[in-house]
Amino acid sequence: MRVAALALWLVVAIILLIPVVRGRSMTGPPRRRVSSDELVKDPVCQTYVVRSRAVSRQTAAGPRYFCSADCASRFSG
């Protein structure tokens, strides 16, 4: 009986803790906004730009982000 009561309390404790854990993760900045407003470095002029506003180019090494189309063209050629 003791083990059953302990298990019951454990289940109750977990149920009570789930909203606390979820609440903590939600207090941080929303993930979508972080990913779109993330700062990326322009490899040509070494300037940091917001990714959502950066000019992106697909390269063999992955996507590269630039502050302007001018920097993007300089990087490729």
Report the nearest approach of Zn ion to the CB of residue 46 (Å).
8
Asked if residues 42 and 56 have their Cβ atoms less than 8 Å apart, the reply is: no
* Of the residues 43, 45, 51, 74, which one makes contact with Zn ion according to CB under 5 A: 45
* Of the residues 54, 64, 65, 67, which one makes contact with Zn ion according to CB under 5 A: 67
Give CA–CA dist 27/32, Å, rounded: 14
Report the nearest approach of Zn ion to the CB of residue 67 (Å).
4
Asked if residues 57 and 72 have their Cβ atoms less than 8 Å apart, the reply is: yes
Residue numbers at the binding site for Zn ion (CB under 5 A): 42, 44-45, 47, 67, 71
